[in-house]
């Protein structure tokens, strides 16, 4: 017989301590779950010309020509955004007023952090006799204070960082022999469990052009709904 406060949960307990270890899920901070938004960080600088509406643009050919089709795909995403803002692609073989440079990179990094470990303890309640003379047998019961922190263990995972860098140079009124002046440059970054450029770049392009051209020197966080792809407005 156990004390009254122990009735109700003693019947299913073993007669000996049975500790079990469980871990909290710190991984969730780095992995992008299905329901979690796609989060990008954008830094932009601009001296956007007031007369840019209707201007033509063309692309600067990258030095790496081994990814021509992939590069053309990303440039297509940029073109769609520029055309929404009233700019026009220069005819084939002609240079536009605005020279556009699109560059993408992806790298991986092993990140390690400490994950807390908790243990469910059993405590022994000794036999005793109450004031009425009733005897209560002892036994092992769950720790009334719940799981106890017992330490940390290192946990590692691969985190991918995907970058999009976009520059636009204005050739109007450029002196002969001088490079055109940069009127817009932006860098968008995504960190997560995938480094597949074809999956991530469309979101980075949209993040760059969200609130284009934006405030000079502004750092913004742009989030997308992972199911619909829509921008999540604050």
pLDDT of residue 25: 38
pLDDT band at 123 (very low <50, low <70, confident <90, very high): confident
pLDDT digits (tens, 9 = 90+) for 42-87: 999 999 999 999 999 999 988 888 889 999 999 999 999 999 999 9
Is the pLDDT reported for residue 100 higher than 70?
yes
Picking from 167, 205, 184, the residue whose alpha carbon sits closest to that of residue 73 is 205
DSSP letters along 87-147, please? -EEPPTT---SEEEEEEEEEEEEEEEEEEEEEEE-EEEEPPEE-TTS-EE--EEEE-TT-S
Contact 231, 222 (CB under 8 A): yes
Q: What is the pLDDT of residue 3?
A: 52
| pLDDT (tens digit per residue) in 177-234 | 889 999 999 999 999 988 899 999 999 999 999 999 989 998 999 999 988 999 998 7
Give yes or no for residue 118 having a pLDDT over 70. yes
Q: Is 28 helix (H, G, I), strand (E, B) or coil?
A: helix
Closest CA relative to residue 163, chosen from 186, 185, 184, 188: 188
Give pLDDT tens digits for 25-54: 343 343 344 568 999 999 999 999 999 999
pTM score of the predicted model: 0.70
Q: What domains sit in the chain, N to C, each tagged with a CATH number?
A: 4-26+112-155 (no CATH), 28-111+156-224 (3.30.160.670)
């Amino acid at each position: 017989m156990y004390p009254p406060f122990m009735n109700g949960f003693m019947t299913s307990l073993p007669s000996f301590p049975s500790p079990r270890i469980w871990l909290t899920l710190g991984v969730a901070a780095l992995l992008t779950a299905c329901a979690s938004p796609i989060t990008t960080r954008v830094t932009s600088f601009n001296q956007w010309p007031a007369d840019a509406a209707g201007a033509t643009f063309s692309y600067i050919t990258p030095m790496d020509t081994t990814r021509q089709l992939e590069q053309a795909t990303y440039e297509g995403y940029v073109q769609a955004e520029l055309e929404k803002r009233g700019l026009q692609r220069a005819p084939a073989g002609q240079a536009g007023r605005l020279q556009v440079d699109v560059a993408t990179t992806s790298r991986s990094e092993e990140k390690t952090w400490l994950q807390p470990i908790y243990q469910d303890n059993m405590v022994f309640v000794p036999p005793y006799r109450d004031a009425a003379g009733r005897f209560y047998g002892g036994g092992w019961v769950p720790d009334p204070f719940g799981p106890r922190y017992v330490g940390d263990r290192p946990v590692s995972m691969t985190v991918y960082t995907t970058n999009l860098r976009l520059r636009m140079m204005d050739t109007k009124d450029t002196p002969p022999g001088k490079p055109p002046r940069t009127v817009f440059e932006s860098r968008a970054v995504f960190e997560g469990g995938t480094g597949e450029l074809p999956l991530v770049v469309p979101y980075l392009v949209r993040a760059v052009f969200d609130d284009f051209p934006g405030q000079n020197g502004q750092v913004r966080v742009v989030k997308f709904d992972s199911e619909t792809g829509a921008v999540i407005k604050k």
